[in-house]
Every structure is written in structure tokens, then in C-alpha cells.
Amino acid sequence: MNQRTFKRRVNYQQNIEYEVITSPHLFQPENASILSVGKTENARRFVVLDANVEKYYAAEIRQYFQYHQIEAKIVSIPSGEENKTLESYLALVRELDAFPINRRNEPIIAIGGGVLTDVAGFVASSYRRGLPHIKVPTTLMGYVDASIGIKTGININGNKNRIGSFAAPQKVFLDKTFLKTLPKRHLLNGICEIIKMGIIKDAGLFQLLETYGSQSVAAQFQNEAGDLILNSAIENMLEELEPNLFEEDLMRKVDFGHTFSYGLETRYEANLLHGEAVLLDIVVSSLIAEARGLISSEDISRIFQLVDELGINLNTALLDPQTLWNSLEERTYHRDGLQRVPMPLGLGGCTFVNDIQQNEISSAIKNLQDRIMFKYDHA
């Protein structure tokens, strides 16, 4: 062997396993679910809440840990996308420095919407090179999407999720009673991701939305039919995420609605929530698919009818072909040089396309705006 050189391959594989599990009334004293992870003798927990969750639930959560004799530090970060920032990240790091926890068996507990779980998840994944964490979604968006995967992140320099990581939680606890206090706009925001899944993957889920969607929204998902929708949405999402947790495969069905929405969300952060931008993308993409003969006009009508019945307003005034085209170009770069845009193939099916042209986007926007105009003219 040549004494001056060295070569050895390092190979290590890590198994990723975590449970996503319903646990109603998570913070009632007799419910020990959340303490099933980590030590409970002489134990501490660092609990991160979003400001609105703090307003409604901090007292109950504080009492819960007192009851179980766990020393809990409860900190909150301000709510909303505008606070998915480095400042929020650093604020949590400083709080952690002031409240040392065992880095192996005192998991950080993140309780909030997608913003909170993304920020707190990123803190957990990077503080001291990674601490275990538990996620508890309190928005519909978190419940069916943001909290159940392994992506974390913060926004910077006008770019969404520019800094972040893949970091699996130890567990995700689903307690839909949190949704009781969620404002309607945010319920509808979350339902947009469920509509996405129905169109691109599961016609049965789409039918559930048609049958029980509006009553479930009215009941803040506290009804039984709401469980059917929620469980199906989560199962579908996990089926897509599980084999591709680190997104090696860039052809992702769950990216349906996430091509044009990226630019819309960035440009209109003050006007559009994530799901609202996704739904605009969904309808534009579906109309492009219709023009290509990938989905029938009857199925397109069902999509518009569902959106209508759920009471979601499409803010089509924000759509301009150039913004959408720029977003497609950015996503093409993000997806390693190919558009890889998921398109519906009928209701419940999916195909990917790489050749969307600017004029198809313009036609779809025009078609959409005409439809909305027609609806108001005939209301």
C-alpha cells in the first residue's frame, strides 16, 4: 500500500421511524401520551407555543406539567409567516441556553401551526447538533401536512424555507380539539391541502370532501365525518412522504399546487396564506390539464363546485402570467432542471409534465377569471 495516501469509504445508515398518532385531549392531566417520550423523573421540558396557542392553551399546558411534576419552560414566538424568521430562531436558542435540557431524553415539544413547528423543528434539529422533538399541530395545515413530515425551516432574504433541515420528530400527536379555536380562514387554508390530495391522489377523499366537507368546516372538524376526512388526508400524505422522506425523487405528487404558488406566496405574503396560494395554483394547473385533455370538463366542474360549497374565495385578481411563469422557472431550477409539474389525470390520478408553455398559463388564468366573472354575473 502506498504510505502517503489514504482511502476508505465511510458508510452509515440510519433508520427513521416515528409515529403519528391521535391523542384527544392531550393536555388533560390523566392523558400521559406526551410523556411517553423521554424521561419523566426529575425531568424538564422545553415547550414552544405560538402566540395564539399561548393565549388559548398556556394555562392548561402549564397545569399539565405541574400535575406531572415536570419542570416545564413554556416560551412563545409571535404568530404568522412574517415571524418564520432567524430572529424567532435565535430567540428560541437564547431561551434554550437559559434552560438547559438533557439532549437525549428531554424532547423539545413544539405546539402550534406550520410556522411554529417549522421554526421549533429547525431549532431542535440544529441546537447542539440536534435534540429530539415532538410536534403537536394546532392548525389544520399542521394537522394534515406541516407537522407530519420531517421538513423544518425558516424564511430569509424574501425566500421561503431557505434555511432548514430534514429532521424527524420522535412523535407527532394529533389532538383535533385544538382546531376548535382556529379561525375559519385558517381552517379553509388547511382544507386546500386536502383538496389537493383528493384531486391528485385519492378520488375517495375528494368524494368525502364533497359529502362532508362543508359540515366538517362548520363543526371545526369536531364531527365524526371530520375524522374520516382528516384520517384519509393524513394517510394519503404519509403514503407519499414515507418512501421519499428526503425527497431524492423530485417527482412528488404532493407538489401539486406548489409550482405557481411559490411565486404568489412570496410576492403576496401579506394577502395570501400558503393554502390559498396552493388552491390558486391547483385551479390554474387543473385548467391547463383540462386544455391538454388530461381531465374532463365534468371533473373540472366538480372541483369548482367543491371550492364553492366550502366557501373558499379564489383571489384571482392576484394572478398574472408573468409571476406564475417566473415561479415555474424558479421551481424548475429547484427541481434540478426539469419542470416536473404534477398534473391531475382525471380525479384521483397524477401525471408529470415538463413542457408547460407561457401561453398555456395565460389561457388558464383567462379561463379562470371568466369563470369567476360568470359566477358573479349569475349569482
Ligand X SMILES: NC(=O)c1ccc[n+]([C@@H]2O[C@H](COP(=O)([O-])OP(=O)(O)OC[C@H]3O[C@@H](n4cnc5c(N)ncnc54)[C@H](O)[C@@H]3O)[C@@H](O)[C@H]2O)c1
For 187, left (φ over 0), alpha (ψ -120 to 50), or beta?
Answer: alpha
Closer to ligand X by Cβ: residue 140 or 294: 140
Closer to ligand X by Cβ: residue 172 or 341: 172
Closer to ligand X by Cβ: residue 101 or 167: 167
Closer to ligand X by Cβ: residue 132 or 142: 142
427513521: which residue's cell? 16
Q: In the chain, what are the helix, strand and coil shares in percent, each to the nearest 5? A: 50, 15, 35
Nearest residue to 209 via CA among 225, 224, 186: 225
Q: Quote the CA–CA distance of 334 and 49 in Å, as a whole number.
A: 31
Considering the candidates 84, 135, 151, 176, report the single residue annotated as catalytic: 151
Give the nearest distance from C-beta 68 to ligand X in angstroms: 22
Closer to ligand X by Cβ: residue 78 or 349: 78
What lies within 8 Å, CB to CB, of 21 at 6+ separation is 33, 171, 172, 173, 174
Closer to ligand X by Cβ: residue 115 or 279: 115
Nearest residue to 114 via CA among 83, 93, 72: 83
Nearest residue to 33 via CA among 51, 46, 19, 17: 19
Nearest residue to 262 via CA among 343, 162, 143: 162
Nearest residue to ligand X on Cβ basis:
114
Specify whether the CB–CB gap between 363 and 290 falls below 8 A.
Answer: no
Give the nearest distance from C-beta 112 to ligand X in angstroms: 5
Q: Which residues bind ligand X (CB under 6 A)?
A: 50-53, 56, 79-81, 84, 112-116, 118, 138-139, 141-142, 145-146, 149, 151, 161, 178, 181-182, 186, 189, 274
Give the nearest distance from C-beta 168 to ligand X in angstroms: 12
Give the nearest distance from C-beta 45 to ligand X in angstroms: 19
Give the nearest distance from C-beta 50 to ligand X in angstroms: 4
DSSP E strand stretches across 281-363: 341-344, 350-353
Give the nearest distance from C-beta 243 to ligand X in angstroms: 16
Specify whether the CB–CB gap between 306 and 210 falls below 8 A.
Answer: yes
Per-position DSSP letters for 118-146, written without gaps between them: HHHHHHHHHGGG---EEEEE-SHHIIIII
Known catalytic residue at 160: no
Annotated catalytic sites, by residue?
151
